């Protein structure tokens, strides 16, 4: 029997796992107790890695769409057709007529991250989309405007804080998001064991809220007002303390002026939290020795997501808990993405670039994914005629998925790189079958830059490639070479990693790929440390507390307060939720993760259910401006009155080849989310707070 150690790359948690096997027969998958970050923790998803490798539904050869359905073709033919069509379309309609969409798994795959850049350089398109603008763009915009670089995203120093305020996040289920923190349950208990406090602000009493010292319901879309009130109290009570950043912050006066009108008494009736409780939280955090406000998905995916994440940073800075032990800190990764794209001293765009159709802001060089269908359907220069979708399923993951699917039918050419025939790839002309988690090597470039402890770890492939598949990076490298008319680069992800480690500050300590291979559990590089002054990318190395883009957006906030628009026709606000045993759209074909009770249910408060004469287990229709779905109800006081919740990532249909996923008869929340609801500041989709109406199923059918 052999033992293989690696990092699970399904979600952000970076759990170290130990796999015992005899050849391709897996005996067990369990947590690696010697992993310096996860410390033996494992969640149910990691156990399912074997399901993806052995799945009979996996694509195992390149496919070409014909009049009689898909047929297997050679890799050479698949590449020839793809490159020929890309060149033909770009010659006829311009480079931007060929677009690319990058799904979430790209961030978990070092090969993709390393080989995408040369591919995009050769493709020469500005039509780029990704999951980032349906998830986290406000984090990146706040980092760019305040600290000079989109990837300077702080994380909570969980292992040393004494007061943790969580907004719009459920880390017990996610193990952290924009914060790689495995074994989160034990870490939260440790805060309480050392006399600290955890408070959760959320429209749902989440699994994390149940473990916290206090939970307060808040009306969706009002989180920005709550944070403004927290900052108001800091100024009102003279609690501003910048600590070691006292000479490194500009814009304090502007912030003080802004928050004057947002007193706890003013915002309380708007957000549903009493003024006294707002003050108690603000003062409790101000008086705590080490405190941190952590905001995540629920805040970044609303119409004021940009303001929420900006003000989260502002609060942590003014409360003296930024770049400081126990507060919001910055990892010092062995491979630092900022090293390869420094912004300090570089020319800056004087204004934000805007998308072609809806004039939405473009950050990270991307068009907001909420406008993907518009860019395909709207004629004119730059209209998208072809799309390359890499490890993504936008029909299920992008707002108004029905509209996206209809737009795909109008493309001249669609290529997908995927492990399955999905709701998106079933429309493709060519499908490249890619490898899965156990077949790839991994050094986590993205999430070690968001980890709550500095570590370095390399995982070799465990199994050979299944069937006639290729690694995503090999597909990208081959396409790049053929677009150039040259041979493959000959480079591998390991070569890139070795070069990057040679540039690392840890290289002086002898850190290299050979050493990582000798330490399969990973190497502990120590706790987070104060390091912002050496990493900040503003030219003057000063934190910009009050960037103009945020100050200007406050006007939009002011006009939206007390708005009644849509409340009569669509009386409920819908929020998403995460499910522990699933991740986004691609894990639902695992029998280990999909067994048991139906988790794709609509949570509704008992008082709302009583008014609608609805019981748990009954089916209802849920309708928004853009669509209608039918869902099973779960009546529970875990959800705030007037709010309902559906999980994200579900909705696989029998039109895909994912038999286990399709058998669940689940629904996609993105058949209801509205592509016109967007954070106009950052371009991020506002998938939380969508207005919906609910009817018992028989009522809906009677009027259909």
Nearest-angstrom CA–CA distance, 73 and 60: 11
Paired strand residues for 690: 574
Residue 566 has pLDDT above 90, yes or no: no
Q: What does the pLDDT average to over 11-16?
A: 94
And the tokens for 218? 């808040």
Report phi then psi at 214, rounded to 5. -155, 145
Domains 2-47 and 564-703 share a fold: no
Q: How many other CB atoms sit within 10 Å of the CB of residue 467?
A: 10
More confident position, 563 or 450: 450
Provide the whole-model pTM: 0.97
The pairs formed by 264-270 with CB atoms below 8 angstroms and a separation of 24 or more are: 264/229, 264/232, 264/233, 266/229, 267/222, 267/225, 267/226, 267/228, 267/229, 268/229, 270/219, 270/222, 270/225, 270/561, 270/562
- pLDDT 10s digits, 31-86: 999 999 999 999 999 999 999 999 999 999 999 999 999 999 999 999 999 999 99
678-679-681 Cα angle (round to 5): 140
Q: What does the pLDDT average to over 296-317?
A: 98
Residue 23 has pLDDT above 70, yes or no: yes
Environment class of 505 (CB within 10 Å of its CB; exposed 0-12, middle 13-18, buried 19+): middle
Residue 698 has pLDDT above 80, yes or no: no
Q: Coil, strand, or helix at residue 645?
A: strand
- The pLDDT assigned to 619 comes to 96
- The pLDDT assigned to 654 comes to 79
Residue 704 has pLDDT above 60, yes or no: no
pLDDT range class, residue 586, cuts 50, 70, 90: confident
Nearest-angstrom CA–CA distance, 129 and 373: 11
Q: Residue 646 is inside which H or E element, if any? A: strand 643-647
Q: E-assigned strands of 569-611?
A: 572-577, 601-604
- pLDDT 10s digits, 174-227: 988 999 999 999 999 999 999 999 999 999 999 999 999 999 999 999 999 999
The mean pLDDT of the chain is 96
- Class assignment of domain 564-703? mainly beta
If you search the block for the tokens 């995503």, which residue do you land on?
472
Report phi then psi at 370, rounded to 5. -65, -15
- The pLDDT assigned to 655 comes to 80
Nearest-angstrom CA–CA distance, 532 and 324: 9
Residue 702 has pLDDT above 60, yes or no: no
Supply the CATH classification number for the domain 2-47: 2.20.25.90
Residue 349 has pLDDT above 80, yes or no: no
Residue 564 has pLDDT above 70, yes or no: no
- The pLDDT assigned to 700 comes to 44
More confident position, 655 or 281: 281
Q: Coil, strand, or helix at residue 628?
A: strand
Nearest-angstrom CA–CA distance, 104 and 46: 17
Q: What does the pLDDT average to over 245-273?
A: 98
Paired strand residues for 5: 18
And the tokens for 229? 């009130």
DSSP string across 514-546: HHHHH-TT-EEEEE----HHHH--STT--EESS
- pLDDT 10s digits, 453-489: 999 999 999 999 999 999 999 999 999 999 999 999 9
- The pLDDT assigned to 703 comes to 39
Nearest to 96 by CA among 432, 427, 357: 357
Q: What does the pLDDT average to over 111-115?
A: 95
And the tokens for 628? 């209608």
For the chain, the structural domain boundaries read 2-47, 155-229+244-315+328-340+443-457+493-561, 564-703
DSSP string across 360-418: -B-BTTB--GGGHHHHHHS-STT---EEEEES--HHHHSSSHHHHHHHHTT-SEEEEEE
Q: Please, are residues 395 and 414 in contact by the beta-carbon 8 Å criterion?
A: no
Supply the CATH classification number for the domain 155-229+244-315+328-340+443-457+493-561: 3.40.228.10
538-543-544 Cα angle (round to 5): 90
């Amino acid at each position: 029997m052999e033992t293989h150690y690696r990092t699970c790359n399904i979600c952000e948690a970076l759990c170290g796992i130990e796999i015992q096997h005899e050849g391709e027969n897996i005996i067990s998958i369990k947590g690696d107790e010697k992993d310096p970050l996860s410390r033996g923790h494992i969640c149910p998803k990691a156990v399912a890695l074997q399901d993806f490798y052995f799945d009979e539904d996996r694509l195992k050869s390149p496919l070409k769409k014909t009049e009689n359905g898909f047929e297997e073709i050679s890799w050479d033919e698949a590449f020839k057709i793809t490159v020929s069509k890309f060149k033909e379309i770009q010659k006829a309609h311009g480079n931007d007529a060929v677009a690319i969409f990058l799904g979430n798994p790209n961030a978990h795959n070092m090969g993709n991250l390393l080989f995408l850049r040369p591919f995009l350089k050769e493709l020469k398109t500005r039509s780029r989309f990704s999951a980032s603008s349906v998830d986290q763009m406000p984090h990146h915009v706040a980092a760019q405007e305040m600290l000079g670089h989109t990837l300077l995203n702080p994380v909570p120093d969980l292992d040393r804080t004494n007061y943790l305020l969580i907004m719009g996040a459920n880390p017990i289920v996610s193990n952290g998001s924009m914060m790689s923190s495995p074994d989160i349950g034990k870490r939260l208990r440790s805060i309480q064991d050392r006399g600290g406090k955890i408070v959760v602000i959320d429209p749902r009493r989440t699994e994390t809220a149940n473990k916290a010292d206090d939970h307060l319901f808040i009306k969706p879309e009002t989180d920005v007002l709550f944070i403004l009130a927290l900052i108001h109290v800091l100024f009102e009570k003279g609690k501003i303390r910048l600590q070691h950043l006292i000479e490194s912050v500009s814009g304090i006066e502007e912030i003080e002026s802004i928050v004057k009108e947002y007193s706890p008494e003013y915002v309380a009736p708007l957000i549903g939290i009493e003024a006294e409780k707002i003050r108690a939280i603000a003062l409790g955090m101000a008086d705590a020795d080490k405190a941190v406000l952590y905001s995540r998905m629920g805040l970044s995916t609303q119409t004021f997501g940009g303001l929420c994440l900006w003000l989260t940073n502002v609060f942590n800075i003014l409360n003296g808990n930024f770049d400081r032990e126990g507060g919001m800190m910055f990892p010092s990764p062995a491979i630092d993405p900022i090293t390869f794209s420094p912004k300090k001293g570089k020319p800056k765009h004087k204004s934000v670039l805007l998308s072609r159709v809806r004039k939405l802001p473009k950050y990270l060089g991307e068009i907001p994914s909420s406008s993907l269908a518009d860019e395909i359907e709207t004629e004119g220069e730059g209209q998208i005629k072809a799309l390359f979708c890499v490890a993504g399923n936008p029909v299920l993951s992008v707002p108004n998925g029905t509209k996206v699917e209809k737009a795909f039918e109008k493309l001249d050419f669609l290529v997908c790189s995927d492990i399955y025939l999905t709701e998106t790839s079933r429309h493709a002309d060519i499908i490249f079958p890619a490898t899965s988690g156990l077949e790839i090597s991994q050094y986590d470039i993205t999430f070690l830059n968001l980890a709550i402890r500095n570590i370095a770890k390399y995982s070799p492939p465990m199994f050979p490639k299944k069937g006639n598949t290729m690694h995503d990076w090999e597909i990208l490298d081959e396409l790049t070479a053929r677009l150039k008319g040259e041979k493959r680069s000959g480079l591998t992800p390991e070569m890139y990693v070795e070069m990057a480690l040679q540039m690392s500050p840890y290289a002086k300590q002898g850190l290299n790929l050979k050493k990582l291979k000798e330490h399969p559990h990973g190497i502990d590089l120590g706790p987070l440390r104060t390091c912002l002054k050496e990493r900040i990318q503003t030219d003057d190395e000063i934190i910009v507390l009050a960037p103009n883009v945020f100050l200007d957006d406050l006007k939009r906030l002011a006009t939206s307060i007390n708005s009644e628009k849509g409340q009569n026709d669509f009386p409920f606000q819908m929020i998403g939720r995460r499910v522990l045993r699933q991740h986004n759209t691609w894990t639902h074909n695992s029998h280990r993760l999909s067994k048991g009770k139906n988790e794709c249910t609509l949570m509704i408060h008992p008082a709302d259910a009583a008014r609608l004469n609805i019981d748990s287990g009954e089916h209802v229709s849920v309708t928004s401006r853009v669509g209608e779905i039918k869902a099973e109800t779960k009546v529970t006081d875990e959800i705030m009155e007037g709010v309902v919740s559906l999980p994200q990532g579900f909705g696989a249909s029998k039109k895909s080849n994912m038999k286990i996923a399709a058998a669940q008869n689940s629904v996609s929340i993105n058949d209801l989310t509205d592509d016109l609801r967007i954070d106009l500041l950052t371009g991020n989709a506002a998938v939380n707070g969508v207005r919906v109406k609910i009817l018992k199923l028989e009522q809906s059918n009677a009027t259909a």
